[in-house]
Copies of this chain bind each other. A is one copy, B any other.
């Protein structure tokens, strides 16, 4: 993908792959093409996509125009309308409005996942907005004002949902706090996956500890049952169970 000269409106892309299925959240199991942008304002301790976050991977990223990105999406989807999952890094750092507008003209739909640290007016043009504020185990602090602004920017355009990764009791308490702040939004609790840190050579290990993931799932199910928290949805990451920590699936 190299050799493209930077220009106004171009988007920093880490990878485009699919079709596969969405492994997480409200669209779990839904066929999709992933468009992963490069660059992030966060440094989560357990980040599973550091190759789309750290500046040392910047040489792997490519500046692409919306046209180039949609040409690649159409090549992968055979030009059949498909759900495009905008992920990162933090895709809210990129100027995605023209991509979304042109993609929707071609019949595609768009879901975007972000931690909710950078509101963008074009959130309103999405079909789905997954807001994933990061729990204490990430080492990051939540900017509630920015998260409020993300929700306000989306308004009634997309279906907006919350998704919180939960590794432990402290994360669970954080998720309860998030839910109580935004009672109108559905909330998804996602079992934490302690993926080994990746390097330039790839994942620390391509095999995930699926037993640990399912143990975490059972624990979370027990928690919501005990607390009668029946409005939460509890899910593991299906792609981790199916493909471990491998990229491109």
Q: Which residues on A are within 8 Å of B, measured CB to CB?
A: 18-21, 28-32, 77-78, 80-83, 188, 214, 217-218, 221, 224-225, 228-230, 232-236, 238, 241-243
When chains A and B are docked, how far (Å) is the Cα of A230 from the Cα of B228? Answer: 35
Q: How far is the CB of A216 from chain B (nearest CB, A)?
A: 10
When chains A and B are docked, how far (Å) is the Cα of A29 from the Cα of B26? Answer: 10
User: Contact: A21 with B214, CB < 8 Å?
Assistant: no
One complex includes copies of this chain to the number of 2
Q: How far is the CB of A193 from chain B (nearest CB, A)?
A: 14
Kindly report which residue of chain B lies nearest to residue A26, judged by CB atoms: B29
4 extra A-B contacts, CB within 8 A, seeds A28-B233, A217-B242: A31-B232, A32-B230, A214-B242, A218-B243
User: Contact: A236 with B238, CB < 8 Å?
Assistant: yes
Q: How far is the CB of A156 from chain B (nearest CB, A)?
A: 20
Kindly report which residue of chain B lies nearest to residue A33, judged by CB atoms: B230
User: Contact: B83 with A225, CB < 8 Å?
Assistant: no
* A-B contact list, 6 entries, CB within 8 Å: A19-B228, A19-B230, A21-B234, A31-B230, A217-B238, A217-B242
Cβ-neighbour of A28 out of B21, B81, B230, B235 (below 8 A): B235
Given contacts A234-B31, A235-B29, contact A20 B225 (CB under 8 A): yes
Chain B residues with Cβ below 8 Å from A83 are 230
When chains A and B are docked, how far (Å) is the Cα of A235 from the Cα of B18? Answer: 17
Kindly report which residue of chain B lies nearest to residue A25, judged by CB atoms: B29
Cβ-neighbour of A80 out of B30, B228, B241, B242 (below 8 A): B228
Cβ-neighbour of A18 out of B20, B30, B218, B225 (below 8 A): B225
When chains A and B are docked, how far (Å) is the Cα of A29 from the Cα of B21? Answer: 17
Q: How far is the CB of A166 from chain B (nearest CB, A)?
A: 13
Q: How far is the CB of A85 from chain B (nearest CB, A)?
A: 12
When chains A and B are docked, how far (Å) is the Cα of A117 from the Cα of B31? Answer: 30
Kindly report which residue of chain B lies nearest to residue A239, judged by CB atoms: B221
User: Contact: A228 with B77, CB < 8 Å?
Assistant: yes
Given contacts A242-B221, A243-B218, contact A229 B29 (CB under 8 A): no
Chain B residues with Cβ below 8 Å from A28 are 28-29, 233, 235
Q: How far is the CB of A34 from chain B (nearest CB, A)?
A: 12
